[in-house]
């Protein structure tokens, strides 16, 4: 029996949807992790943040992205208000 699929969806074939989700997760999680780390580490340690390659942030963002994306939004909105109170 020949099966045809007339639905033209993005997820058909070779895991394109999974690959797209992985790339979006790497990018957004990496950017959020980088932003949060580079913003808060100098506040709490008092030292400048050493430059790290983006792939390290992206790899950490795969696992920490669920926490760092909302924390990045929180930092963007309330970071300038909270930092003077901590210093």
The domain segmentation of the chain, as residue ranges, is: 16-86
For the stretch 66-86, pLDDT in tens is 999 999 999 999 988 888 887
Rounded CA gap, 53 and 59, in Å? 10
Global pTM value = 0.76
Tens digit of each residue's pLDDT (9 = 90 or more) over 19-62: 888 899 999 999 999 999 999 888 888 888 788 899 999 999 99
In the prediction, which pLDDT does 10 show? 57
Each residue's pLDDT tens digit, 56-67: 999 999 999 899
Residue 49 to residues 2, 23, 36, Cα–Cα distance (Å): 59, 26, 11
Q: Could you say which DSSP state residue 17 is in? A: H
Q: How far apart are CA 9 and CA 6, in angstroms?
A: 9
CB 61 within 8 A of CB 33: yes
């Amino acid at each position: 029996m020949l099966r045809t699929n007339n639905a033209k969806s993005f997820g058909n074939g070779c895991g394109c949807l999974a690959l797209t989700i992985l790339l979006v997760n790497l990018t957004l999680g990496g950017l959020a992790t980088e932003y949060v780390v580079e913003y808060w580490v100098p506040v709490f340690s008092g030292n400048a943040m050493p430059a790290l390659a983006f792939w390290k942030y992206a790899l950490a963002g795969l696992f920490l992205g669920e926490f760092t994306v909302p924390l990045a939004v929180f930092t963007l909105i309330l970071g300038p208000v909270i930092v003077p109170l901590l210093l």
